[in-house]
Chain A
Amino acid sequence: MSSPFHQALERNRDRYNAQFALARHRTRSLSATEFLDHLRAHVGPVVDASGVDDPVPLTDALVSLSLRLAERGWLTEGTPTARAFAALPMLAWFVGHAPTRVPAAVLNAARTIDAAPRGQLGRWLGAMVRMAGVIPPDRTDLLLDAGAVAAWRCGVALLRRSALAALRGLPADVAAVALGDPVDGPTLQRLAADPWAAPAGGEPGLLVRERVGAFTGFGGPFPRPPVVRAVDGRWYAEVSERAWEVAVDRFGWDLRRVPAVPAGAAAGSSLRFDGVGEVSDGRGGVLRLPELAATTSVAGIGDTLAVTTRYSHRIVFVGRSA
């Protein structure tokens, strides 16, 4: 007896062939052999493992999606979308419940994580597969919320606030997989209060925590050394007329373009900077950083200080963690 995927292909052979012909019409380089390999290796296993009664809607959705991806070259080995697609068979039950939503969400997330400077796509995909083992397949929203938390842990620092909010709504076993460690109420509060805290362990004391940004000539965002500002509890970088919001914590960093640095109250920090390279936390902790001597801007939030200099395109974040 043929598999559900083969039944779907058989029932709609002409239509799928027409779709491929259209795609080929638009993208001459589309290879029939490679596309068939993709269907065989990735689409078929998803359909067959999905447990759906009627395999046709799921096959329709995955074939259409695959064609769109193939036309853009996004099924090429090593691309984040191809890596994410290869993980879909392990999320097959979820894909079966939401044939268009789940694949698109996973693939888009893969692109976002891959684009984050500290993004760890492989680790995130692994977390998604493990979470799929503890979440009922009809709870798509729960899987995606947990996926956001895992994405934060895997380097998408811009997700920090919304991931912390999502984390509060996750069952304990799911949260533990998403964060990589069990998390209870006090841990959650600690994570929210201290950007350098880890669910377990961590690196206490006064340390250089992160160096954010790079020169455009080396693929970074800043054409000139930026200045940093802290407004209403958020970090911002400015270069000439351009501005970015800076997200940074122990899991990673990222920048997001904003029209301008908003007006607001400048935050304060418990850390002190002497202007020539020494940072102290007022509790005996002192860090000497000669690289920060030619300072152009200093901003602080809580136990973190951000410093820029005229000779570097990076923003240096120094933080104290308990």
Chain B
Amino acid sequence: MDSYQHVSQAPTLPGGAHAGAAEPAEFDVAALYSGPVSGGEADGRALPLDEKLRQAYFWIVNHAIISPHYDVEFAEGPSPSVSLGDSKARLTLPSGQSYSSFVLIPLLTFAVRRRCLLVGGPGRGKTASAVLMGVLAGYPLREVRRAMQHGHPQLTIADLLGTPLPADLIKAERIGDIDIAWRSWLSMRVKIIDEYNRIPTRTQSALLTLMSDGYAEVFDQVYEAADSAWYLTANDDAGGGTYQVIEALRDRIDVVVHALQFNSRFLGELVTRIEQRLRPEEVVPPEIVFSEAEHERVSAEILRVPLPAPVLRRLEFFSAQFELLEQAGEQFEYRTKDTAKLAGVDPHLLAATETGRDRLADLGSQTLNGLSVRALQSTIAYAKALAYFRDREEVGLDDLRAVLPFVLHDKLVPDDNSPAFEDPSHRPYRTDRVSWIRHLFDRACAEYDRIDLDADDPVGAMLAEFDRGLDGVGESEVTARLSRIEGLLTDSSRSRKLYGHTYDDALALKYLHQRYVNYRSWLRWRP
């Protein structure tokens, strides 16, 4: 059996963009002191941080969390699959290095310092996973456990954030004179809120401010918290907590991951741990612990991973599918699900009255909302993090496809009454959101390919032309471009059907038209 202190040998991803360093050109002094005896911090400095992140992942899956699931699948060539049971459940054997979402997503959250919700039944390792992330950040286990906030119905804002000093409460003449004894967990780089759906609503609001704006406020005193990775756990995210989670707080969560079931074939490992009183979180190898500087650096390096235009374009196309609701408004800009929601009308009722579109083909008909800017920001951050973790030079479509279901898990609300879910093969999507979102993305990509937008994207070409700037563009050229915009819109009007992406294209063309009109006015006005 592998060693608990054993960290997977680098490179953990042979064939990665930066793997396979050649033999050093010169036997250097440093070579005398490097070798198989690891000293922790010294080795950590030398190792690229993406490699360190992968070593952390493999240590966790090999030694800490018994999660033998590889649900984040990647293919490098054909992947065999078999169909099992009456339902012909397909089991794919991925040909590329694949990962367990329950470990990978929290680890990416650690790297990008965002907010992760771990959901699943009791005793499935949600809290243990979050605690491990605290230890990876270099905090002693006892400190991580002490800093963990446990949601319960009596949790007050003072319990959560800090209490005013009693002497100040008596002596202070102004509220600003009251010093606050801030809770120590506020300064930590990993913050854990256990069972967040048991926190009273008022305290949730204080938590919201801390999570979203990075500060806490008590008695007019403000505490600025550093960027942190947040882990929230919930036994039942479908409203089974003591309190309803306020929507704004739920919306601040960047990613949701399920604690998958325990595989009974691995019970032997549990027996051994019990017999020998093994607690992996107590013996995290120093090689995979990230110092504060490394944590900062890994976040910065992730942000620098490029998101190439073809991948971005597909994300644009996918995200355009969901907001349009023709019956919700009269003015073109207001024909959205958001308009209906703000008016208190169920978007599904309005959608049912639409007649022009094929509601089975239209992906937008499957959701009750569109995607927020925050959701798209989270998507981009996690796609970059995954590409970084996989040692890729830039974000690939497979990275994007892999993270989307976890980022949009609670962001994209399915319309359970949509006819798309009536198809027997699509019924599981009502309960399996991860597969549903992945299916939506695959469908969007197929449609993107069908209409050949990589090769023929006149709206994209016009936006690119505008992005090149207006310096030296004369009135005749502006007039020509305006005509092209009007021509494109006229072409679109010949189709009876309006889909999400054509709706966004039409609004983009209107934007361009307005910019050119303003520019032409300025050209005519200037002396």
Residue numbers of A with Cβ under 8 A of B are 15, 18-19, 21-27, 61, 64-65, 67-69, 71-72, 74, 81, 100-109, 111-112, 144-145, 147-148, 151, 156, 158-159, 161-163, 166, 247, 256-259
Contact = CB atoms under 8 A, between A and B. Distances in A.
B35 interface: yes
Contacts of A259: 22-23
Given A21-B277, A111-B37, A258-B23, A64 B286 contact: yes
Interface of B: 1-5, 22-23, 26-29, 31-43, 272, 276-280, 282-283, 285-286
B38 A25 contact: no
B47 to A, nearest CB: 14
Contact of A163 (B29, B282, B285): B29
Given A25-B4, A25-B272, A162-B26, A144 B39 contact: no
A151 B32 contact: yes
A281 to B, nearest CB: 30
B468 to A, nearest CB: 47
A22 B4 contact: yes
B277 A18 contact: yes
- Interface of B: prevailing SS: loop
Given A25-B278, A108-B32, A162-B28, A68 B37 contact: yes
Contacts of A107: 35, 37
Contacts of A69: 37
Chain A CB within 10 Å, residue with most, of B31, B33, B35, B37: B37
Contact of A112 (B3, B35, B42, B285): B35
A21 B276 contact: yes
B42 to A, nearest CB: 4
Nearest to A109: B32
Given A18-B283, A23-B5, A101 B41 contact: yes
A18 B5 contact: no
A294 B286 CA distance: 56
Contacts of A147: 32-33
A166 B29 contact: yes
Contacts of A26: 1-4
A104 B278 contact: no
Contact of A81 (B31, B37, B39, B278): B37
Contact of A148 (B29, B39, B41): B29
B40 A61 contact: yes
Given A64-B286, A101-B41, A162-B29, A111 B277 contact: no
A101 B37 contact: no
Given A61-B39, A148-B32, 18 more contacts: A18-B279, A18-B283, A22-B4, A22-B278, A22-B280, A24-B276, A103-B39, A104-B33, A105-B39, A105-B42, A108-B35, A108-B36, A111-B36, A156-B32, A161-B26, A247-B27, A257-B23, A258-B23
Nearest to B280: A22
Chain A CB within 10 Å, residue with most, of B5, B27, B283: B27
7 contacts: A68-B3, A68-B5, A68-B37, A100-B41, A151-B32, A159-B27, A159-B32
A21 B36 CA distance: 23
B459 to A, nearest CB: 52
A68 B38 contact: yes
Contacts of A100: 39-42, 286
A251 to B, nearest CB: 14
B41 A108 contact: no
Contacts of B41: 100-101
Contact of A256 (B27, B43, B286): B27
Nearest to A165: B29
A111 B283 CA distance: 26
A22 B5 contact: yes
Contacts of B38: 68, 104
Chain A CB within 10 Å, residue with most, of B39, B41, B277: B39
Contacts of B272: 25
Nearest to A254: B27
Nearest to B34: A108
Contacts of A102: 39
A63 to B, nearest CB: 11
A19 B285 CA distance: 11
Nearest to B2: A26
Contact of A159 (B3, B22, B29): B29
Contacts of A68: 3, 5, 37-38
A72 to B, nearest CB: 8
Contacts of A256: 23, 27
Contact of B276 (A25, A81, A111, A162): A25
Contact of A111 (B1, B35, B39, B43): B35
Given A64-B5, A158-B27, A162-B29, A22 B286 contact: no
A18 B278 contact: yes
A277 B365 CA distance: 92
Contacts of A144: 29, 33
A161 B28 CA distance: 8
A145 B278 CA distance: 41
Contacts of A108: 32-37
Contacts of A151: 32
A284 B48 CA distance: 57
Contacts of B26: 161-162
A151 B31 CA distance: 12
Nearest to A148: B29
Nearest to B40: A100
A163 B29 CA distance: 7
Contacts of A103: 37, 39
B282 A18 contact: yes
Chain A CB within 10 Å, residue with most, of B3, B4, B29, B38: B29
A276 to B, nearest CB: 36
B40 A109 contact: no
Chain B CB within 10 Å, residue with most, of A81, A102, A104, A111: A104
A23 B280 CA distance: 11
A107 B36 CA distance: 9
Contacts of A81: 37
A247 B26 CA distance: 11
Contacts of B277: 18, 21
A19 to B, nearest CB: 5
Contacts of B286: 61, 64, 100
B263 to A, nearest CB: 21
Nearest to B44: A100
B460 to A, nearest CB: 46
A71 B27 contact: no
Contacts of A257: 23
Nearest to A71: B3
B189 to A, nearest CB: 20
B46 to A, nearest CB: 11
Chain A CB within 10 Å, residue with most, of B2, B28, B32, B279: B32
A101 B39 contact: yes
9 closest Cβ contacts across the A-B interface?
A104-B39, A108-B35, A105-B33, A158-B27, A100-B40, A100-B39, A148-B29, A107-B37, A101-B42
